[in-house]
Amino acid sequence: MELILILHGKNSVKNNIMKTFTLIISLIISCNFAFGQIVISNGEDTGLGWWQAGSTAVEIVDWHPKEGNPTAKAMTIWISPTSDAWSGGGLGGLNINVSAYNKISVLVYKNVAGTVRLELQDGGPNQFVTANYTTPGAWQKLEFAIPAGMGNITTLLIAPFIDYNLSTIVGEQSRCYWDEVIAFKETTASVSNTFAMSEVVKSEVFTVTGTLIKTFNKSQEISYSDLAKGFYIIKQTNNAGKNNSFKVTIK
């Protein structure tokens, strides 16, 4: 148990944050949720050995669109009408522990919507997983579930134009960028009832500076994997209007 001050207010402007926050003093139950991840490729210093898959070469460039992805470099390919539909990039020499991670995320930028496919290899039959890219002209983080029963993943291939009629893809539509390939463990935890004999009707997730970022009704599950690393305050309200709070640390 520890005593904590939760800052909560309508405005969070840096210069007057202390004037506008109402102080709520609560007894806190400290809870730690550790979510592991491993960077497979980031274009900077990890996973740079991408090789050509299909008939399209892979480049690592520093002239990719920066808005939505401020890192210096990203991977890119250029599709032509004569390319294989499964053209993309491959990365071998991996050892992704499937007992520690259950998903792979990839940051993708294209100028046309459609399916992106990952091919995962573990020495047995190749496994294929897909995600839908829906935001043409913007970076989008796609998440792919690692199929159950796989061994440790040794090779990964990305095919960003798997379901296209390539003869219709022209100009900048033919370009795809990807970055920040990460294996992670997605864990969903239920909100615990910190009231001894009363019902939780609402749970709110705050940053440590008092900014409300998520609201959940009753005992709705919170997907902590959506939160960046750091400290958060979970504030619960019961059916009598009373509040309790506990701290969550995302590592």
Taking 50 as the pLDDT cut, the residues of the chain under it are: 1-35, 190-191, 196-197
3-state helix, strand, coil in the chain (%, to 5): 5, 50, 45
Sign of the torsion angle spanned by Cα atoms 15, 19, 22, 24: positive
Domain match, 171 and 67 both: yes
Domain match, 6 and 126 both: no
Residues 111 and 175 sit within 8 Å (Cβ to Cβ):
yes
DSSP letter at 20 equals: H
pTM for the complete prediction? 0.64
pLDDT tens readout for residues 32-53 = 333 478 999 999 999 999 999 9
The rounded distance, in Å, linking the Cα atoms of 201 and 219 is 7
Residues 178 and 75 sit within 8 Å (Cβ to Cβ):
yes
Domain that holds residue 167: 37-184
* pLDDT score recorded for residue 80: 86
Residues 49 and 92 sit within 8 Å (Cβ to Cβ):
yes
CATH code for the domain in which residue 126 is found: 2.60.120.260
Look at residues 129, 149, 184 and tell me which one is the last residue of a structural domain: 184
Domain match, 239 and 127 both: no
Domain count within the chain: 2
Domain match, 130 and 246 both: no
Domain match, 21 and 49 both: no
Domain match, 155 and 128 both: yes
Look at residues 154, 184, 214 and tell me which one is the last residue of a structural domain: 184
Coil/strand/helix, residue 15: helix
CATH code for the domain in which residue 197 is found: 2.60.40
* pLDDT score recorded for residue 29: 33
Domain match, 75 and 146 both: yes
Look at residues 165, 184, 203 and tell me which one is the last residue of a structural domain: 184
Domain match, 219 and 242 both: yes
Query: From its phi and psi, is residue 196 left (phi > 0), alpha (psi between -120 and 50) or beta?
Result: alpha
Task: Spell out the SS3 assignment of 111-178.
Answer: CCCEEEEEEEECCCCCEEEEEEECCCCEEEEEEEECCCCCCCECEEEEECCCCCCHHHCCHHHHEEEE
* pLDDT score recorded for residue 195: 54
Domain match, 45 and 160 both: yes
